[in-house]
Amino acid sequence: MYQIGICDDDKILCAELEETLYRVAEKLSVKVEVEVWYSGESLLCDLKKGTSLDIIFLDIELTQQNGVAVGSFIRNEMEDLETHIVYISGRESYAMQLFCIQPLDFLIKPISEEKLKEVLERSLKQRQNENLYFEYRKGNSVCRIPTKDIICLMSEDKKIRVVTQTGESTFYGKLKKIAETLPPDFVLIHQSYLIHQRYVREYAYDAVTMMDGTVFPISKPYRKIIRSKIRQSQREGTKVES
């Protein structure tokens, strides 16, 4: 069941969006459950109680707790990077803070069914890629962690340090070989750093800043490949569109 949330103070729009979403889901033959909130506070209240959503359509211009505040609460306070946030707005201009929340997309009212279908498809596709596991040997036991949780892998001498959202672990291995087995959104940016693009906050040509603020340098020989990787992942994100 795909959990969808809508948060907008315009009740008519919410009803319309809900209806369209059910229709689109039927066309895509996915089971969804749509829940609606009319204010940022009520949404935050439920999220705190443990409501979890796969995707939330969030109005930017909510009255009290606006979309930026709600978004940054989800990302920063709750440390939830998995919920896809789609901003909806009547205007075309966006504040810089919105881009830090890494929304899946921006939609301008009125929202067409086509566009909604495209966004939902993209969300579903990204979610699908998350059910992969990374296996490694530590001593005599084999460890298994979901690849979606891995932030980065670092090589130190002959050991590999794997950093996930919940903690760290080390094992023996070769970074280059590991890079080949992981999904394409893992990128080698340095001979001893393998990062997960999902956890990148900002790229520069010579460094990447991760969500937690860590900065990794991109060494010279890798810069060209990184450029094409960035473009590739961007193109894949929008491919469904055209």
The span from the CA of 55 to the CA of 1, in Å, is 12
Cβ closer to another protein: 30 or 225? 225
The span from the CA of 202 to the CA of 215, in Å, is 10
Whose CA is closest to 70, among 213, 212, 84, 62? 62
Cβ closer to another protein: 92 or 156? 92
Query: Minimal distance in Å, beta carbon 14 to another protein?
Result: 19
Query: Minimal distance in Å, beta carbon 143 to another protein?
Result: 30
The span from the CA of 227 to the CA of 166, in Å, is 29
Query: Minimal distance in Å, beta carbon 96 to another protein?
Result: 4
Please report, as ranges, the residues that interact with another protein according to CB under 8 A.
Answer: 91-96, 98-99, 102, 106, 200-206, 209, 223-224, 227-228, 230-231, 234-235, 237-238
Cβ closer to another protein: 32 or 101? 101
Cβ closer to another protein: 126 or 155? 126
Query: Minimal distance in Å, beta carbon 199 to another protein?
Result: 10
The span from the CA of 34 to the CA of 189, in Å, is 40
Distance of CA 126 to the CA centre of its chain: 8
Residues in the chain: 242
